[in-house]
Structure 1
Amino acid sequence: MTDTLEIFAVAPPGLEAALLPEFRALGYKDARYGPGGVTMIGGWPDVWRLNLELRGATKVLARIGTFRAMSLAGLDHRADEFPWADTFYSGTTVRVEASCKRSKIYHAGAATERVEKALRKAGMKPSADGEVTLKIRIEQNIVTLSVDTSGDSLHKRGHKEAVGKAPMRENLAALFLRQAGYDGVEPVLDPMCGSGTFVIEAAEIAAGLQPGRSRSFAFEHLAGFDAQAFEAMRRAVSVVKGPARMFGSDRDAGAIKSAVANANCAGVSALCEFQCHAVADLQRPDGPAGLVIVNPPYGGRIGDKKQLFALYGTLGKTLKERFSGWRVALVTSDAGLAKAAGLPFTQGPAVPHGGLKVWLFQTPPLK
């Protein structure tokens, strides 16, 4: 499996450009971003590495074939001829998903059935619970075959025990940290940290830990996967030493307990300090200024709206009084709530999150 492939890393919508610097940092200078994610040309070892190293991606897809089909009969013929054994072992269970757009083949279910039949002939086992997923996109009569090489979404790092209310996904947190200019060196503070996603993600970046170090991937079920070569890509995890330079607080004692457990599980507890208190009691940590990044409650019940405005106001007042020199990044679905903080925010692009559109609001260093 050393063939050259088109590799597509799926990004959260609206954050495609924020994912591109990760490719640059890994040495992939020819990668390009576009609608939905980042594309590059590479081999299967690059697929393995991207799954292991990318923090902001949702999935990594490997495009294994493209051909024209003007009818279901044509799709039958091309699918029967396709060299499925180059990608899948005989007996592999494969989930097939199809979509059709502006094509003479317009029925996704019929297209799925045709490809499933071809896979059976080649010795694979189509299944709704397949070990790997084959994605078929038929657009303007061009059939593109892609393998989901990730399996579970890449935000599932594999080392998180507890999840709080309305959690921020890890890959989204990583992209927001990057958008906010986090460099892995400065301190980071989240005054409404919940189960600790921003704080732990920042600590992992600072420690140079691979986000996929604790999990498995769908590509491990593909033909030609070299387990020994992949293990060589996994960096040995050394003991992460303090002192703490990532700080999280929350008024919910249960959330703090979860955050502490998650930091321990991720191996970054030495870099993290968590405290249980309200936003009004927030104190500036000793040391240099850094980044305050926060995902406060938003879009709550109508009866809670007044309380939310008061909460944002308290947050802004506390930061203005005690955090001179720190930058602030705030995620919310409501520009009015952001305005209530009274901070000099600029608004980033809309990003879908939890059924809502959210924005990252940022300030320059506070005066």
Structure 2
Amino acid sequence: MSAAFEIFLQGAPGLEEILAEEARDSGFTHAEPVPGGAVLKGQWTTVWRANLKLRGANAVLARIGGFPAVHLAQLDKRARGFAWGEVLRADVPLRVEVVASKKSKIYHAGAAQERIERALSEDFGATIDPGAQLTLKTRIQRDYVQFSVDTSGEGLHKRGHKPAVGKAPMRETLAALFLRQAGYRGDEPVLDPMCGSGTFVLEAAEIAAGLWPGRDRAFAFEHLATFKPELYAKIRAEAPAPATDLPDFHGSDRNAGAVEMAGRNADAAGLAGAIRFHHRALSDIARPEGKPGLVIINPPYGARIGDRRQLFALYARIGEVLRERFSGWRAAIITSDGGLARASGLPFLPTTPPVDHGGLKVTLYHTAPLP
């Protein structure tokens, strides 16, 4: 349990620095951004904590070792001699995924996967199941075979306490990173006037309350040979008591069903008393009393929901409402269409590269405090 190894925090490409920053702020002090996520060194207890505490990571991968190989026979032999039992359990089914680089002499991912699966089943006694929760990820690059275990299982956006999901939902992990990119740290009000099932305000309220996002779910690492239930129970007991003196959180939507879903999600997360949800059109939103905060909106983009030509009026109205009623508040809009964002007339700060969201490239457009 004491030997350090590399841990890869898989995140949204384009937000690697934001994810690394979150990890450092959460106690993983040496996390550094790399393409597709962030890396750090740690032990298995570090893996457990990362799964429990990090909001922006999609998965936590443990680099469990590897070896050089320049042809399939060598891969087969060395895979059969690999110390699988130090991490895996023969009684737990797993699936194997292989990515092979053209910069390696072994470039056929399917053939490499077959050799690894055969080694695992014949020499280690493992059951290979394409539908298994536990995944062994293999990357072959520059003639080196690197094994990683996906210690999360289901994606970490599945918090375990969100029963209702609306149309075109944004994953919780991506919402958390966008909140951080917009400067939110848990000490100010947040309002989402097109809240759908409530993802942004729920994430914001959980951050303010200090709740661990993985508190209500299970993880794949619980089925590894390295898992120690008693030690894990002690780590879970380290979670702080939720803060009670929270800023105000507001969500509204013109769809009554969405507001009902958002309320159910807040109940399930234990945050029903912290968030006010309203059945309300954008034009009817009012500035909450008290100090200013962040208005964050994920409106239709036109690519899937709505007609783009009709959306220019919507974005213009968003900008008009925010400029008229939210002086001193910051505004953030997530969209795949820069033309629509500019139609709002809001004074956006320079943007960062777009991020994948459901097959689209979306960008966070955000402002300094509005005049």
Q: Aligned match of 1:311 in 314, 320, 329? A: 314
1:184 corresponds to which residue?
Answer: 186
Q: Residue 242 of structure 1 contacts residue 270 of structure 1 at CA under 8 Å; is this kept in 2?
A: no
**Identity in percent:** 57
Separation in 1, partners of 2:242, 2:22: 24
2:211 corresponds to which residue?
Answer: 209
Change (3 A) 1:338 1:135: same
Separation in 2, partners of 1:131, 1:356: 27
Q: Aligned match of 2:287 in 284, 289, 293? A: 284
User: Deviations 1:299-352 (Å, cap 9, x if unpaired)?
Assistant: 246972232111111111111111000000110000111111111013232101
| CA-CA distance at 1:185 after TM superposition | 0.8
Separation in 2, partners of 1:73, 1:109: 14
User: Deviations 1:162-197 (Å, cap 9, x if unpaired)?
Assistant: 111111110000000000110201000001000000
- Paired AA for residue 291 in structure 1: L
Aligned pair 1:170/2:172, yes or no? yes
Q: Residue 287 of structure 2 contacts residue 325 of structure 2 at CA under 8 Å; is this kept in 1?
A: yes
2:77 corresponds to which residue?
Answer: 77
Change (3 A) 1:13 1:302: closer
Q: What TM-score do the two structures reach when normalised by structure 1?
A: 0.97
User: Deviations 1:261-313 (Å, cap 9, x if unpaired)?
Assistant: 00110111111001111111110001000000110011246972232111111
Separation in 1, partners of 2:306, 2:198: 27
Moved more, 25-34 or 91-100: 25-34
Q: What TM-score do the two structures reach when normalised by structure 2?
A: 0.96
| CA-CA distance at 1:237 after TM superposition | 7.5
Separation in 2, partners of 1:49, 1:301: 37
> Where does structure 1 differ by over 6 angstroms across 4 or more consecutive aligned residues?
none
User: Deviations 1:186-231 (Å, cap 9, x if unpaired)?
Assistant: 0000010000000000000000000000100000000020112112
Q: Aligned match of 2:249 in 239, 243, 246? A: 246
| CA-CA distance at 1:31 after TM superposition | 1.8
Q: Residue 61 of structure 1 contacts residue 149 of structure 1 at CA under 8 Å; is this kept in 2?
A: yes
2:18 corresponds to which residue?
Answer: 18
Which SS does the other structure have where 1:9 is aligned?
Answer: strand
- Paired AA for residue 130 in structure 2: A
| CA-CA distance at 1:239 after TM superposition | 6.5
RMSD: 1.5
Count of residue pairs brought into register by the alignment:
367
Q: Residue 92 of structure 1 contacts residue 131 of structure 1 at CA under 8 Å; is this kept in 2?
A: no
| CA-CA distance at 1:2 after TM superposition | 3.4
Name structure 2 gaps, 5 residues minimum: none
Q: How does 1:1-367 map to 2 (within 5 A)?
A: 1-101=1-101, 102-120=103-121, 121-235=123-237, 238=241, 241=244, 245-300=248-303, 304-346=307-349, 347-367=351-371
Q: Residue 47 of structure 1 contacts residue 149 of structure 1 at CA under 8 Å; is this kept in 2?
A: yes
Q: Residue 244 of structure 1 contacts residue 272 of structure 1 at CA under 8 Å; is this kept in 2?
A: no
- Paired AA for residue 184 in structure 2: Y
Which SS does the other structure have where 1:178 is aligned?
Answer: helix
